Structure 1
Amino acid sequence: MASELNLSESERLELWNKSRFEAFLPSTVYLVLCIVVGVAGNGVVIYIYRFRLHGKHDGRYFIPHLAVADLFAVLASGELHIMNNLYPVTYRFEKLCKWNFVFGFVATVFSTCILLLIAVQRYLKVCRPFGRQMVLFWRRFSLLLSLLMTVILGVPSYFTFGLEKVRNLELNVTGSACRRLTTTTQTLSLVHATVCTMLTVTEGALLIVLYVKICKVIFQKDQNLGKPDTKKTNISKMFMVITMIYLVSFLPRMITFLLEGTKADLWETIPVEAYGVVRMVELLYIVNHVVNPFVYAFMDVKFVKEFKQVFSCTKPNCYPPEM
């Protein structure tokens, strides 16, 4: 340690940055893989559901919109966290830091809002088949309203995230990190974190309640008819799996999101190795924006059929879209 203190301030700062960069390397590799797989997978989903199955199955109406939100979310969140991993204590791009958090927040939250819209639509179709349904107007209106509310909720991120001065007492050096501002806007950060956490918990509870009701109705119908409605059951199960992945993958991020708003210099109080592990775990939420295409591939027969027709075709347009 004495020899390290003999180094210049810039050398000590670079040494600190390097130690964190190396601890974050597994999560950096993970983020790159998420971007590659997420862009390719969601791109395929957008093409098939938007151009091959568009207008034929209203139960899948929200899928291409969810894929667009997931594609932007994986790009925005991936770029945000890769930059943070590359410059953990030497970040200098304040505007980029702020806008990265805003775009990442909006895309991620909008994606989760679409999951709730899907759950409501499935509930109406399965539990109230003879009642009022989400016609095209209300599906479009709900999407626009969700996007507007998400943008409004995301605006405070510009003021609650930015370049924060961080201090390493052992190396006697000060750096700058792109993260939640806990020294200059601690109250606003805590309020914003609390509101977002409460909304996420509420949404999670609504999703669980809706899908529990859907499961009960499907089970009762299967028992009464003796023969399950495979089509409706598979679609409902598919969206249940997607929702479960969301709930599980977002939990660690919600915990750290709230903790960051309550304690200044939180990440300077734990060893860098432990921080690297926490960093990897909290970034698991990005899986939510990557895995959906694989869920469709396993559980949506029509998606699989169209996928095979498109990607096994040796001549352009040799297979027409399904009618």
Structure 2
Amino acid sequence: MDDIVNTTLSADPLDRIKERAFLLYWNDIYKELYFPNTIILALYLLIGIPGNIVVILVYQFRLRKEKDGRYFITPLAYLDLLALIITASLNLTRNTRQVLFPGHGVCRMLLYLSYMSTCSSLFLLNVIAVQRFQKICRPFGRQMDVFWKKASIGICVLVSTMLYIPVLFYYGVIEIRNPQLGNITGYQCNKLPGSAAQLKGLRIFQGFGFFITISNVVVITVLYIIITVSIVKQVRKMKSTKVQATGDSSGTPDTTAMSYVSKHQTSMSAATESSEALESSVHSMSKLKPTKQKKAHQKSDARRGAFRVSFMFMTISFVGFLAYIPSWTFIVIETNNPVFWKSMSTTVFHVCLALRRMYMLNHFANPFIYSVFDIAFRQEIRKLFCVK
């Protein structure tokens, strides 16, 4: 980077020192401007890295038997951890080295990995919605087995890897000049200048990315609406079944007693036989009834657990929507309006910048959602940190 910065038309060492000082001063101005956002990014890292590591430790090593409903939580946590580190590295470098960005390779790889990791996480949310749809709405149909779960994770990563290859060609380090500081040259990670055809290609690529995001949102939303309707119907059915079972159990003794009294009045011998049969029947039912009730309770608890997991992933998807939509909206705006970020006040700039980087929220919010919906996760957290 020093070789790039020191490249100048003047061979005078004093001019080089002066140019370097102006460049550092220019960079410090940007660093001060971006400082509030740098604090926000630091908080994201302080919360997100430990949170995702705890999720991985609990779900992979302490709740390994719970494979069905929680299978995708661990790979999602790995993707979120990776995406959080990469996107934070990119944005922190931009905040602190806005006009001293360290080279084409770093710029392109950080941007590419940022797009790829965040998109992989979004695609995985789509797969989770399909799996929950099968589990809740088609419980007796074909389910996603372990092979297809692993394959779906690989497909999400592979599609994201291929989809964002154009980022490597449309972005890089560009030269920018500051006439107010002796026309010095800075180096910024941004869209590469090009012909009208190249700019059109960039717009098509970003429009396609926005379309993919919206399509994911629509598909996941539709699936979770269907899941919610199915859950409501099943809960109503469970309640009506429970009421009916309670009524049947309360009516059985009265009917038996009346039958017994009737037979007792007919003949003594018949009463004796009926009494013996009644005792045998009651004795058998007393053994079977708790077993049936226990199985019914277990089935009911299993359904409630499946419903809770579905609502948990529904909440994760909703948070993801809130995080991704503003980011893609600003990407489209800034592509079509190159001076967008220069034509606003400082306060508006910070608000828009926070919204532009709001996609990072999706990568550190999930541990809090798990702690709200998953009782077993909360219990393991207490054990892990020795909290009673």
Query: TM-score, normalised on structure 2?
Result: 0.74
Identify if the C-alpha distance between structure 1 residues 45 and 61 changes in structure 2 by more than 3 Å, giving closer, same or farther: same
Moved more, 27-36 or 196-205: 27-36
Q: Give 3-state SS (helix, strand or coil) of 1:164's partner.
A: strand
Residue 249 of structure 1 aligns with an amino acid whose one-letter code is A
1:243 to 317, 326, 330: 317
Per-residue CA deviations over 1:21-40 (Å, capped at 9, x if unaligned) read: 22211111111121122111
Go from structure 1 to structure 2 and tell me whether the alpha carbon gap of 1:90 and 1:265 turns closer, same or farther (over 3 Å shift).
farther
Return the offset for 1:121: 0.5
Q: Does 1:205 align with 2:218?
A: yes
Q: Find the residue that maps to 1:213 and give its secondary structure.
A: helix
Q: Partners of 2:335 and 2:192 in 1: how far apart? A: 8
Corresponding letter in the other structure for 2:190: R
> How many pairs were matched up?
307
Question: In the aligned structure 2, how far is the partner of 1:233 from the partner of 1:58?
Answer: 13
Secondary structure of the 1:142 match is helix
Give, in angstroms, the shift of residue 312 of structure 1.
1.0
| CA distance, structure 2, for counterparts of residue 97 and residue 169 of structure 1 | 25
Can you list the C-alpha shifts for 1:249-299, whole angstroms capped at 9, x where unaligned? 112110122223323344344455543332122112101100101111111
Instruction: Give per-residue Cα distances to partners, 1:104-139, cap 9 Å, x unaligned.
Output: 111111111111111110011011111111011111
1:154-199 deviations in whole A, cap 9, x for unaligned? 2111112211233556665553221233546423321221111000
Structure 2 match to 1:176: 187
- Checking the alignment, whether the CA contact within 8 Å between 2:178 and 2:184 is kept in structure 1 is yes
Alpha-carbon distance in 1 for matches of 2:70, 2:42: 29
CA RMSD of aligned residues (A): 2.2
Structure 2 distance, partners of 1:297, 1:290, is 13
**In structure 1, the residue corresponding to 2:140 is in which secondary structure?**
coil
The answer on 1:124 being equivalent to 2:198 is no
Aligned to 2:384, which of 302, 310, 317? 310
Provide the C-alpha distance between the structure 2 equivalents of 1:183 and 1:301, rounded to a whole number of angstroms. Answer: 54
Q: Does 1:279 align with 2:292?
A: no
The CA distance in 1 between the partners of 2:36 and 2:158, in whole Å, is: 35
Structure showing the higher helix proportion among its residues? 2
Tell whether the 8 Å contact from 1:182 to 1:263 is kept in structure 2 after alignment: no
Matched, 1:19 2:93: no
Distance in 2 between the 1:311 and 1:113 partners? 33
For residues 173 and 187 of structure 1, do their structure 2 counterparts lie closer, same or farther at Cα, with a shift above 3 Å needed?
Answer: farther
Aligned mates of 1:85, 1:61 — CA distance in 2: 37
Residues 290-322 of structure 1: CA deviation (Å, up to 9, x unaligned):
0101111111011112222222189xxxxxxxx
Distance 2:309 2:373 in 1: 7
TM-superposed deviation, 1:147: 1.0
Q: Match of 1:257, SS? A: helix
SS at match of 2:322: helix
Superposition map of 1:55-204 within 5 A: 55-168=65-178, 174-183=185-194, 185-204=198-217
**1:216 equivalent in alignment to 2:243:** no
CA deviation after TM superposition for structure 1 residue 14, in Å: 4.0
Q: CA deviation at 1:231?
A: 1.2
Amino acid at match of 2:230: V
Equivalent-residue separation in structure 2 for 1:16 and 1:77 (angstroms): 24
User: C-alpha separation between the residues in 1 aligned to 2:60 and 2:102?
Assistant: 40
- The answer to which structure, 1 or 2, has the higher relative contact order (CA under 8 A, 6+ apart) is 1
Residue correspondence of structure 1 range 30-41 to structure 2 within 5 A: 30-41=40-51
For residue 60 of structure 1, give the secondary structure of its aligned residue in structure 2: coil
* TM-score, scaled relative to structure 1: 0.88
The 3 A distance-change label for structure 1 pair 221 and 169 is farther
Q: Deviations over 1:36-90 (max 9, x none)?
A: 2211111111111111112433111010000000000000000000000011223
Q: Which runs of 5+ in 1 are unaligned?
A: 1-7, 315-323
Match of 1:321 in 2: none
- The letter for the 2-side match of 1:220 is K
1:254 aligns with: 328
- Aligned in 2, Cα 1:199/1:258: closer, same or farther, shift over 3 Å? same
Match of 1:231 among 302, 305, 315: 305
**Fraction of identical pairs, as percent:** 31
1:3 aligned partner: none
Letter in 1 for 2:309: I
Secondary structure class of the residue paired with 2:69: helix
Give the C-alpha shift of residue 92 in structure 1.
3.6
Distance 1:193 1:302 in 2: 41
The answer to whether the Cα contact below 8 Å between 1:167 and 1:268 also exists between their aligned partners in 2 is no
